[in-house]
Chains A and B, each alone.
Chain A
Amino acid sequence: MGHRGMLWVLAILLSAVLLAGCGDGSKSNEGKQTTKDPRRAYEGTTLHVLLKEGYEINVIQKYVQEFEKATGIKVQLEVYDEPTTRQKYILDATSKTGAYDVTAVSFWYFPEYQRNGWVEPLDDYMANKADKDWFHKEDIPQSALDVFAAEGKHYAMPHTIISGMTTYRKDIFEKHHLNPPQTTDDIIALAPKLKQLEPNMIPITGRGAPNFASMGTYLGWAWGYGAQLLDDKIEPHANSPEMVKAITDYVNLLKNYGPADAPSLNFVAAGEKMQSGQAVMMFDTTGWGTILEDPTQSKVNGKIGYTIVKGPAGRPLQWIYMEGLAINSASKNKDAAWLFLQWRMSRETTMKELTQLGRTDVPNLFVLNSPEYKKFAEEKKITAYTQLLPEAWKMADIKYWPFVPEFAEIGDAFMAEVSAAIAGKQDVPTALNKAQAKIEDILKKAGYK
């Protein structure tokens, strides 16, 4: 065989390698309605669903077979941590391969997904393709739907709705005849008292890790002081007088009355101090209610009190996190994907989430107002939490969040400086001046100025 022959051998081998990657088990049945039952119209389709790990997906993982049985659609679930979920989806979306039909989308990534046209508008589906038993738009809190809306269109079904809440050890407060905190000043006054009264406990726990996932705590606390990181014109105010005052107060709380390892604590590690019974107060998300009241995960179930705290500006402290399920705009199985979204949001599925899996902050108003929910809360003795939950949701104000695609970079830059301030490496004004300079630079590079 000469050179030409060799080229043929190489070409065949290369083709074999390339073609091996081209096969896809799934096939598009879009528009091929073969039966009269609309739920079975996409029988034989395989849906690829990309999910972010978290308690909101437990119901999908546990009961997805019921969806498959009802529709004949096969569902392939892929579950990753948040950065990996985003990386996987961005690679798919930018190459427009449609490898995933459905994706989880955190609210903070939504502007990026929507502006790049990576997610499908759902308004037409909601108006014209609703399954009468599975989909009731009025069940979904409108404010949550609107978080995933832009230019008058809605893009995701919110299956996680989280806002800010302060938790405290009811038993410790009762023991020392202390009143639950109503304001940030109350928390600041209570921390030294608790240190004195309970020297073996941590008066307050909270996040301090140098990444954007901790930023919500600080910006949410600062919102109560009238501070906002990015204004409507996308101008940064990391070192405004209100921000300096707010962050100084919170950093001092953690430095003087928080866990010794506060600068490294993330969501899980900060909450563990509460779960294990070491900490007395924590300002974080409403999501903790489900965890702290679960005896399999918490040593303090039944001992927790809940409150909504306001700052000196009269605004409630914020901590918003929303996550939705969206359809990939490059998906070849959009109608089947819409069926899946409806099943996930249905009363039937959400009720199972409550009764079988014990999730209390379910994203369905019908279930939240049902006798089953009331009975569940009374049985578990968590009415204090369940009664406050709708109020916390109502007080959520998305404006506190830097709603730009560059938020992760901004959040990391902000938290790197704040985390160093908690660790005592620098004072808060210095930290915030540095953060301001970095954020200005990030925004400039992104083309905002």
Chain B
Amino acid sequence: MVRLSRTFFYSAIAPAFLILLALVIYPTYKVLTYSLMEYKLTKPNASSFVWFHQYAEAFADERFRWALGRSLYFALLSVLLTLVIGYAIAELLRRDDLKGMCFFRSVILVPMLITPLVVGAVFRYMYDYDYGVVNDIIRRIGLQKIPFLGDPFWALHAAVLADVWQWTPFAAIVLLAGLEAMPREPLEAAALDGAGFWQTLWSIKMPLLRPVIGVTVLLRFMDAFREFDKLYILTAGGPGTSSETLSIYVWRQAFQYFNTGYGAAMGVVMLFVINILSTFYVKLSKTLQ
């Protein structure tokens, strides 16, 4: 075995370490530092160290708590729908007896390749009350048109649907890989024993797919929880604050009002929420396994 010299080893990792230092370690350190300071970018000379005051202020801020709740709701609903629809699509794509599946396996990736900002802009037109295609279809089938972006109930749900449209292919592809890697024997044995569709799904496929579902849920949750682009373009958090998630509120505080310290504290909370929920989910999955 070739033994690498220490010099070569350190020289080889130095560029990667420097990049990590510049892009991850240092910014994280700065965010943590700012979160303990009352710091406004437009008044840098008036900053002061306030320990955890910004965190206390955030949890006392009604709008922050509301935005946190909206983020959780958005992420959970989006992940759930993505998973259910993604699984149905994966089952369809798996069938060899249907023609053109190769084509659909490629085409289904298209939504994922589009920038979220563009998805938001396209859906904004699609949801338009007066000339959007969605309301046109609703009207043609004889139903009452829906002010998707102007109604406090619909605004967030309309954004969830746009997110589901974009990311269901991801779930479908990952679950398809899981389904294809699944051993045939348990399925064949279940068929011989006369197990029905739901019984096979719950008792055989789901337990076997659990690790794949785990990864999908984890990645999608982290992504959906910090969703900004589509939501901002679609609703800007409105009407009122009905669809204002934590990402939008943090953006407003940090980059519109330049309350850098407060924005940093809320960003850290966001990071912790993702971390805690992800850890909890991973542990729960392991326990169930």
Contacts and interface: CB of A to CB of B under 8 A. Distances in A.
Contact of A420 (B14, B147, B240, B257): B240
B192 to A, nearest CB: 56
Interface in B124-168: 124, 128-131, 145, 147-152, 155
Interface string A314-331: 000000000000000000
B238 A416 contact: yes
Contact of B150 (A13, A91, A94, A263): A263
B278 interface: no
Q: Which of B11, B15, B44 has the most CB of A within 10 A?
A: B11
A261 B149 CA distance: 6
Nearest to B146: A260
Contacts of B14: 9-10, 13
Interface in A276-329: 276, 278
Nearest to B234: A264
A273 interface: yes
A226 B105 CA distance: 63
Contacts of A426: 240
B131 to A, nearest CB: 7
Contact of A211 (B18, B129, B236, B242): B236
A368 to B, nearest CB: 35
Nearest to A415: B238
Given A9-B10, A210-B240, A261 B152 contact: no
A205 to B, nearest CB: 10
A252 interface: no
Given A406-B257, A412-B256, A17 B129 contact: no
Give the secondary structure class of B's interface. Answer: loop
B215 interface: no
Interface residues on B, range: 35 or more
A260 B145 contact: yes
A259 B135 CA distance: 14
Dominant SS among interface residues on chain A: helix
A178 to B, nearest CB: 23
A238 interface: no
Contact of B149 (A6, A264, A409, A422): A264
A198 to B, nearest CB: 14
A73 interface: no
A70 interface: no
A263 B238 contact: yes
A384 interface: no
A110 to B, nearest CB: 13
B151 A278 contact: no
A90 B40 CA distance: 11
B155 A264 contact: yes
A14 B10 CA distance: 14
Contact of A423 (B41, B129, B130, B151): B151
A13 B258 CA distance: 34
A1 B7 contact: yes
24 contacts: A6-B7, A9-B7, A9-B10, A13-B18, A17-B22, A87-B255, A209-B238, A210-B240, A210-B241, A210-B244, A262-B150, A264-B235, A269-B124, A273-B130, A406-B257, A416-B238, A416-B240, A419-B238, A420-B152, A420-B238, A423-B238, A423-B239, A425-B242, A426-B240
The 7 closest A-B pairs by CB, nearest first: A420-B240, A263-B239, A261-B150, A423-B239, A210-B238, A260-B147, A264-B149
Given A423-B152, A425-B240, 15 more contacts: A91-B41, A202-B130, A209-B238, A210-B241, A259-B130, A263-B150, A263-B151, A264-B149, A264-B155, A264-B235, A278-B131, A412-B252, A416-B238, A416-B240, A423-B238
